[in-house]
Structure 1
Amino acid sequence: MKNSMFKGPALKGQEFKRRHNRFAFIALVGCTSMLAGCAMGPDYQQPQLDLPSQYHNELLQIEGENIGKTQWRDFYLDPQLQPLISHALAQNLDLETVRSRLIAARQRIIVTGAALYPKIGIDGYGERSLDSGLTSTDPSSENEFNLSGVVSWELDIWGANRRRSEAEYANFLSAQESLNLATISLISDVASRYYEWLDIEQRYQISVNTVALRKKELDLARLRKENGVISGLEVRQAEVEYQSAKVTLPDLDFERGEKANQLRILLGEFDYPLQPQSEEELRAEGAHFPTQFNVGVPSEMLSQRPDVKAAEQALIAMNAKVGVAKTAFFPKFTISGSFGRESDELSNLLDSEGVTWSLLGGITAPIFNAGSISAQYEIAKEESRQAMLAYRDTVLTAYFEVNDAMNSFRRSELAIHAQQELVAASSEYNRLAGLRYRNGVASSLDLMDAQRKLFSAQLALSQIKRDRLLSMITLYRALGGGILSLQDAPPVMGADIEGE
């Protein structure tokens, strides 16, 4: 009778306790949901930049499209250069390394974002034990098997995990802009090495032609001496001019091989076949770039240059980390629970009536840490300030890089016209000196002086043409390096997390 009298009230008490625990759990989740909209730390505000409305040095070419937004295939018009760039984009090893970093940055977003959700797992174990005969009069073996589902969740009341996700997403975008920057840099590096290689090829060809010409002049001088027309001194003078031209060949041959190797490194191959152009192709004034373009205004540069955008994303990440550091001042709340079954036989574990469950709520709060949390918070704020200064410095540097590139391009434009006139004048001087020398009117000194001036002017013209091409490449890169096409752009793997 006593057992029956107390059985009912005991069950009611257990039911009341279960309902109370359920209500407490729901209330705690409800409070967490209400606080979930809060996140500690400052929200990001884009810095105000007092950019000039125009660049210091405007170019005369003000028509056409902003070249900073032009795709590289529409900018690099040389049909022999375009396959090299395409090959480098597919094979360059440094670019592949940056792509790998971007993939790792994308995975870090998933790792950080997982902290926002509960962790669910399975916990199971089996045990077989035997009591000692010293402590038990009837020792026997016992079996125990348990299988439970477990849940744990750290409540993101103060927004620490959300700020971490914000920071990692910004780091991912920064890594993506770094890949854009590496891609644009690779394109411009391939173009620069290619035109430097062509310049050396042209100067080598000029030297070869000059050596051949001076060998003929030396042979002619020897013949004229045998006929008593000139003295041995003039023969020696012709020989000096011949050897002076010939001595330039070894260095130029080494330079063209070295530049070709630099180009092959960018192409990612040991022995990529580089076909030198013919003499007519080297001398031709082909259309390497668009003839009509504009450089836009400084404010457009902010959305065109990957390094500026990467620096801003780094600033966003550091700003979010200030919020993470601030949450360390406040308590952390955790909820964990389990539900499962236990049995003394493995075969009926899932059918056993031995139900087990637990529900646990925890709180940890800082009381004394010798100033460590405050110091970490101050460190985060200073690192955010450093990121701000780095962003401003990147913008400032970018602005003056564009100005310097425009200056360089304008200087090369003026220099190339002057040098072309010098080459034309030197060619005519050399022609007239040759005629006068052959007719016995002028001395060999006049002829050799004319030949030296022409040789020097031709070599200088090749280098000035190279400088003009490189200045155009530098200007294009300084303005952003163009919009990447779909086949050249790095994979956009963050589209599914825009809302995070």
Structure 2
Amino acid sequence: MNHTPYKPRTALLPLLAALVLAGCATSASIDGNALPAIPAAFKEGAPIATAAAQPQAQGTWWKAFADPVLDQLVEQAGRNNNSIQVAAGRLRQARAIAGATNADRLPQVGLSAGAVRQKNSTTGNVAATEVSARANFSYEIDLLGKLSLASSAASLDADSREALLRSTRLLVQADVAQTYLNLRALDAERTLVRDTLQAYRNTLRLTEIRFKEGDVAELDVARVRTEVAVTESDALALDRRRAQLEHALAVLVGEVASNFQVAPTEWATALPVIPAGVPSTVLVRRPDVSAAQSTLQAAQARVGVAKAAWFPTFALTANGGSAAPQLSDLFKASTGVWGISALLSLPLFDGGRREAGVQNASGEMDVALANYREQILVAFKDVEDQLSALRLLAEQSEAQSRSVASATRATLLSDSRYRNGYVSQLELLDAQRSELRNRRQALQVKTAQYLATVGLIRALGGGWA
């Protein structure tokens, strides 16, 4: 068998070795050049570890956020989420199919018993009864590994389903965490907006008093009333968004939205810091990559199954038993019958059916290889996305903090100047609007940092150690 020389540089080596060994057994090789080359480092500068690793079980990564409510929600979703239950059901189906396929490799033994009452010429047209008991044995000898390859393919399908179950769990955990963090961010923003609204209402009362006393014009009252109405509208919009997030969270944890509630509270969730040096073991840690790998190996085995159809099959069968006119005579030596047979079969002409089967299996392997390559590319793309997001968000957060500090100082100065009659109320309102806008933007940047952290953990397969 000829294989294209290829020297993978990192975590692809164990996978490629497995595929080459499988290729020798199935006469279907995998071109190593079809797999993407692994860079020495991520674009964001994080080095890639070159040591190969085995798939790891996902840990309780969400506990790094140190939020008891989040812990409870994720654990509840693990028990009740419908997507997880569907994936678990499909895994059970795949394992059952693997068990049924593996049973074809084992001897088949059966028992049968019957009774016949008949009248014919051999009995002198007299009704007679015959009772019988038989044991049957059959076994197909797996000369060329066809049955073992089919069993291996079914087992790999089950492995793929198991990996997809882990992938579904990780996806649900990440969705719960991100939805919850968005909810807490909205709680913080709602508090900020409502505090600002209360300040505007206090300003409106004072302005209305000064207007009655003739100290200010009606225009000043109208301006403050506008700010109160606009801010009230913003607060209600945030309430609406929070209700929708709470309902979405209810579906994720498997609860009826009408009975589900997450009480508003202060946003005190910790932000984990993922250290530099993200390993390339993401290729084998990510369950979706692992699922694609198992699917590719199963498709490779099925090419061998299809090719084995060109070769003869050899089966052994045996049966033995007794037949007698009376039940009491059934097991006497004189009533015993037995038989052994061997069958060698080889179709000579099938109209191209076997060749079509080989081509179909080869096409499925090409599709599986392309899907596996896509999963690798997506894995690196996801990690790069989140690494760049975290780096840029850290810089943006620093800039936004300076903006908030400046806006807060501007509001204090404008308020002082307004109270001393140096500037109009319009300047003060502009300063207050600017401060509110900058504080809300700072919250949005903070939220994005939390969401990107969850996204990176998910991209790394549920951990970073």
Measure how far apart 1:187 and its partner are.
Answer: 1.1
Aligned counterpart, 2:260: 272
Q: Aligned AA for 1:187?
A: Q
**Does 2:164 correspond to 1:175?**
no
| TM-score (ref. length: structure 2) | 0.87
Return the match for 1:479 from 457, 460, 464. Answer: 460
**CA offsets 1:317-364 (integer angstroms, 9 cap, x no match):** 000000000011112222111011111012332346300111122222
Letter in 2 for 1:318: A
TM-score relative to the length of structure 1: 0.81
Deviates more, 1:175-184 or 1:424-433: 424-433
Q: 1:384 aligns with which of 365, 370, 379?
A: 365
2:354 to 373, 389, 410: 373
- Going from structure 1 to structure 2, the CA distance change for 1:52 and 1:292 (only over 3 Å counts) comes to closer
- 1:138 deviates by 5.6
Q: Does 1:338 align with 2:319?
A: yes
SS in 2 for 1:53: coil
- Which of residues 408, 418, 422 in structure 1 aligns to 2:399? 418
Q: Distance in 1 between matches of 2:403 and 2:67?
A: 27
Residue 427 of structure 1 corresponds to 408
Give yes or no for contact 1:343–1:352 (8 Å, CA) kept in 2: no
Q: Distance in 2 between matches of 1:108 and 1:355?
A: 38
Q: Is the 8 A contact 2:141 2:315 kept in 1?
A: yes
SS at match of 2:255: coil
Within a 5 Å distance, the mapping from 1:155-304 to structure 2 comes to 155-270=141-256, 271-277=259-265, 281-282=266-267, 286-289=269-272, 291=273, 293-298=275-280, 300-304=281-285
Q: Could you tell me how far 1:471 is from its partner in structure 2? A: 0.7
Return the alpha-carbon distance in structure 1 between the equivalents of residues 314 and 122 of structure 2.
45
Residue 439 (structure 1) aligned with residue 420 (structure 2): yes
Amino acid across the alignment from 2:292: A
CA contact (8 A) 2:193 2:231 kept: yes
Secondary structure of 1:441's match?
A: coil
Q: Distance in 1 between matches of 2:246 and 2:27?
A: 52
More RCO (CA 8 Å, sep 6+): 1
- Paired residue total: 432
Q: State the secondary structure of the residue aligned to 2:147.
A: helix
**2:94–2:154: 8 Å Cα contact kept in structure 1?**
yes
SS across alignment from 1:116: coil
Question: 8 Å contact 1:68–1:476 — kept in the other structure?
Answer: no
Decide whether the 8 Å contact of 2:246 with 2:261 is kept in 1.
Answer: no
Report whether the alignment pairs 1:56 with 2:43. Answer: yes
Quick check: 2:64–2:270 contact (8 Å CA) kept in 1? no
The alignment partner of 2:290 has SS state of helix
- Given the alignment of the two structures, is residue 123 of structure 1 paired with residue 112 of structure 2, yes or no? yes
Deviation by residue 1:13-63 (Cα, 9 ceiling, x = unmatched): xxxxxxxxxxxxxxxxxxxxxxxxxx9623776946421011111259x9x
AA paired with 1:125? G
**Alpha-carbon distance in structure 2 between the residues aligned to 1:269 and 1:303:** 33
- CA distance in 2: counterparts of 1:301 and 1:137, whole angstroms: 78
Q: Distance in 2 between matches of 1:69 and 1:114?
A: 32
Query: CA, structure 1 residues 205+57, in 2 after alignment: closer, same or farther (shift >3 Å)?
Result: same
The letter of the residue matching 1:411 is: L
8 Å contact from structure 1 (residues 315, 388) kept in 2: yes
* Matching residue's letter, 1:42: S
8 Å contact from structure 1 (residues 68, 482) kept in 2: no
The residue matched to 1:353 in structure 2 has which SS? helix
Residues 368-422 of structure 1 show CA distances to partners (whole Å, capped at 9, x for unaligned) of: 1121211211221122122112111211121121111111111111111211221
- After TM superposition, give the deviation of residue 74 of structure 1 in Å: 4.9
Residues of 2 paired with 1:151 and 1:87: CA distance? 51
Unmatched 5+ stretches in structure 2: 1-23
Maintained 8 Å contact 2:320/2:336 = yes
Gaps of 5+ in 1: 1-38, 485-500
Matched with 1:23 is: none
2:104 aligns to what SS in structure 1? helix
In structure 2, distance between residues paired with 1:115 and 1:292: 49
Comparing 318-327 with 472-481, which one deviates more in the overlay?
Answer: 472-481
- TM-superposed deviation, 1:89: 1.0
Larger Rg: 1
Distance in 2 (CA, whole Å) between partners of 1:369 and 1:130 is 44
